[in-house]
Amino acid sequence: MQLLALLLATSAFTASATSNIDNGPFQSDLNGSNFTYGQPLKLLRFHSQGLPLEMAFIDLPPIADTVTTSEPQHVRYTRKKPGHKPKTALLLHGKNFCSVTWSATGYALQQAGYRVIIPDQIGFCKSSKPGANYQYSLHQLALNTHSLLSALNLTGPGGSDVTVVGHSLGGMLATRFSLLYPELVSRLVLVNPIGLEPYLEVGVPYPDLSATLRTEQASNYQSIREYEQSTYYLGAWAREYDVWAVMLAQIYSGSEAQKFSEGQARVVDMVLTQPVYYEFPRVQPNTLLIIGTKDTTAIGKQWSPPSVQERLGKYENLGKETAKKIANCTLVEFEGLGHAPQIQAPHRFHETLLEWLRT
C-alpha cells in the first residue's frame, strides 16, 4: 500500500519510464500537420491535466559517439567514459515554427557529439491539439518537456549534460525550463527570444481570448507571409523562409484547424500574462544570447496604439539590456539579421553556436 502510494506520488510529477515511447512509423498527416519531416519521428504517450496526449519529437543520435554496423538501422553507442555524462541538446521551437525547423542545427549538433532531442510542444505541429480543454502555461510546457527527457532516461544523477536552445517563444520556454529545472540545464542558448520586455506593462492592451481566437482563425498563407516578411525578415522573402510559412499555413487549414487555433490563442495569452522578464537575474546556467538586431517582433504590437508600438520590439536594445541581467551571459549580436538568424544565415549561426559550446 505504501509502495503504491509512493509510486503514485512519483508518477504524478513525471511521465512513467516504461513503454510510453512509440517509435512509429506514423502516417505523414499526424495530429493536423502533413509536413514531411526528414528525420524519423517518435511519440511520447503521456497524461497531462487528465488527458491522454501525444508529444511528437525528433531524436538524433550523436554522430561522433556512434558506430554504424553493416546493417544501417542498427546504431551502436560507444561506452561512456566513467564520470563523463553524455551530452544532450534540447531544441525548442517558436510559435510559428516546428521541431523540424531546427533540422540544420540538429544536424550540426549531432556532428559535434550531441544527442539531439527536438519536441513539438503540445498544441503545436505534430503533437496533440487539446484545444480549449487544456490550460496552456510556460510551466506546463516545461513540465511536459521534462517528462519527455525523463521518459528518455536523460534526467537524474546518471542522466545527461543538457544544453537547452530556444528560439522565439522557444527561448521564453527555455528560460522558464531553466528556472524550473536548474540542476538539469548546464548551458542555455537563447535565439531572438520573445519575452525580453513585459508587453502588458509597456502598454499592450490586454485582449479578450475571443479576439486572439478570431485572429488565429483568420491566419492563412498570405497573412503568415506578410507578418513574417515585415517582422522577421526585414521585408525580404526567400525559399528558405517560405517552406516554414507553408508548413504553418497547412496546420491552420488542416484536420485539427479549430483546435489548433484554440490552443494558439491561449498561447498568446500565456506569453502576455506569464512574463519571464522579471526573473532573468535568477537564471543560473551559462547563457549564450544570440540576437539578430533588426528583429522587430513584439507580441501584441499589431493591436497596440502607435505610441506603444514605437517602444516595442527594439532588439538592438533588448539584447544588451537582457545580457546585463543574466549572471553569466555572452551576447552575440548579428547586425543586419532579423528574428531567425539560424534560418537567415545558418552558416554564421552554427559557427557561433558551436564555438561557444566548445569553450
Enumerate binding residues for ligand NAG (CB under 6 A).
Answer: 17-18, 21, 26, 28, 30-31, 34, 36, 43, 54, 128, 152-153, 250, 286, 327-328
Query: Closest separation between CB of residue 47 and ligand NAG, Å?
Result: 13
Query: Closest separation between CB of residue 275 and ligand NAG, Å?
Result: 23
Query: Closest separation between CB of residue 23 and ligand NAG, Å?
Result: 9
Query: Closest separation between CB of residue 163 and ligand NAG, Å?
Result: 13
* CB of 34 or CB of 137, closer to ligand NAG: 34
> Letter for the amino acid at 308?
V
* CB of 281 or CB of 306, closer to ligand NAG: 281
**Do residues 248 and 227 lie in contact, with contact meaning Cβ atoms separated by under 8 Å?**
no
In the chain, beta strands by DSSP E:
21-22, 41-48, 51-60, 66-68, 75-77, 87-92, 115-119, 161-167, 185-191, 286-292, 329-334
* CB of 128 or CB of 261, closer to ligand NAG: 128
> Letter for the amino acid at 256?
E
Transcribe 114-181 into DSSP letters.
Answer: -EEEEEPPTTSTTS---GGGS---HHHHHHHHHHHHHHTT-SSTTS-EEEEEEETHHHHHHHHHHHH-
* CB of 222 or CB of 230, closer to ligand NAG: 222
* CB of 133 or CB of 273, closer to ligand NAG: 133
Cell numbers given for 202 = 509597456
Query: Closest separation between CB of residue 78 and ligand NAG, Å?
Result: 17
* CB of 94 or CB of 130, closer to ligand NAG: 130
**Do residues 105 and 353 lie in contact, with contact meaning Cβ atoms separated by under 8 Å?**
yes
Nearest to 248 by CA among 152, 159, 358, 169: 169
Query: Closest separation between CB of residue 301 and ligand NAG, Å?
Result: 30
